Amino acid sequence: MAVEFSPETLKKFEETVGRYPKKEAAMLPVLYLAQQEFGYLGPEAIAYVARLMGQEPARVQGVVSFYTMFNTRPIGRHHIQVCRTLPCALGGAERITAFIKRKLGIDIGQTTADGRFTLSEVECLASCGTAPMMQINDDYYENLNEEKTEKILESLT
């Protein structure tokens, strides 16, 4: 089941690659394009990116598997990433995580049956002064408590 970029994305691909001194330096932004286009970076997507970049797929897979923000499997529409590192832990992060688990009925690494949420624990997100906090897709939600967390989750469809 081969995948490929739409013409618009191909154009973005060309522009992106053109900005860098060498094509290979564009690997991370190109992988982001692919993740956005295909939803996640499975073997087909990796093989496609490899072909576009003129590299062996094994090497691309090595890159993808190194970084936490590349998803090799489909995830929910909203990726809840609760920070668990020391300052957030001091601020009560574990309570927030436990609350979300209870509320959504899923464990860390799992996705709700309706495909709405995936829950992860992540390391420091550079928001220690407003702990505890979480990131959902591109957005930060800071100074959390259970009430706020509940409202935020309910607002996301």
Partner 1 sequence: MVGSEAASHFAAPVKIKQMEKILLRNIDVPEFHRLAAYESAGGYRSWRRVVENMKPAELIDEVKASGLRGRGGAGFPTGMKWSFVPKDSPKPKYLVCNADESEPGTFKDRLLMERDPHAVLEGTLIAAYAIQSHTAFIYVRGELAFGATQLESAVAEAYRTGLIGKKIFGSGYDLDVIVHRGAGAYICGEETALLSSLEGSRGWPKLKPPFPATHGMFGCPTVVNNVETLAALPWILERGAAAYAALGTEKSKGTKLFSVSGHIAKPGVYELEMGYPFKTFLEEDCGGVPNGKKLKGVIPGGASMPVLRPEEIEKVNLDYESVQAAGSLLGSGGVIVMDETTCMVRAAWNLARFFAHESCGQCSPCREGCHWMEKIFHRIEHGEGEAADLDLILNISGNIMGNTICPFGDAAAMPAAAFIKKFRDEFDAHIAKKRCTVRRELE
Partner 2 sequence: MDPVKITIDGKEINTTKGKTVIQVADEVGIEIPRYCYHPKLSIAGNCRMCLVEIEKMPKLQIACNTQVAEGMNVLTQSPKVLAVRKAVLEFLLINHPVDCPICDQAGECWLQDYYMEHDRRESRFDVGKVHDRKRTIFGPNVIFDGERCIKCTRCVRFCQEITKTNELTVINRSDHSTIALFDDSVLDNPLSANVVDICPVGALTDRDFRFKVRVWYLQKTPSICPGCSTGCNISVETYQNRIARFKPRINEAVNSHWLCDEGRYCFHDLAGGERLTTPLIRQEGGLVAATWEQALQAIYAGLKGSPSIAGILSGRNTNEEAYLFAKLMKRFRADAALEVFYQERKLNEVEKILVSPDRSPNFRGARAMGVGSSDGFDALLRRLLSGEFAAAFVVGEDLTKAAEPEAVRAALQKLSFLVVQDTRVTETTELAHVVLPATHFGEKEGTYTNREGRLQKLNDAVIPPEGALPDSEIFARLLELSGESNGYGSPAQIFASLAREIPGYENLTYDAIGPQGIELGSGGGAAS
Which positions from 7 through 66 interact with partner 1, judged by CB under 8 A? 19-22, 24-29, 31-32, 53, 62-63, 66
Q: Which is nearer to partner 2, 61 or 120 (CB)?
A: 61
119 has which bridge partners?
80
**C-alpha closest to that of 25 among 58, 68, 54, 2:** 54
- Closer CB to partner 1, 113 or 145, in the complex: 145
Q: How far is the CB of 44 from partner 1 (least distance, A)?
A: 20
Q: Work out how close the CB of 46 gets to partner 2 at its nearest, in angstroms, rounded to a whole number.
A: 7
d(CA 111, CA 32): 21
Q: Which residues contact 121 (CB under 8 A, 6 or more apart)?
A: 81, 82, 83, 84, 97, 108
CA distance 111 to 81: 12
Which one of partner 2, partner 1, none interacts with residue 17, CB within 5 to 8 A by kind?
none
Which candidate, 89, 86, 82, places its Cα nearest to that of 152?
Answer: 82
Between 112 and 141, how does the x/- string for binding to partner 2 read (CB under 8 A)? ------------------------------
Which 27-86 positions form the footprint of partner 2 (CB under 8 A)? 43, 46-47, 55-62, 65-66
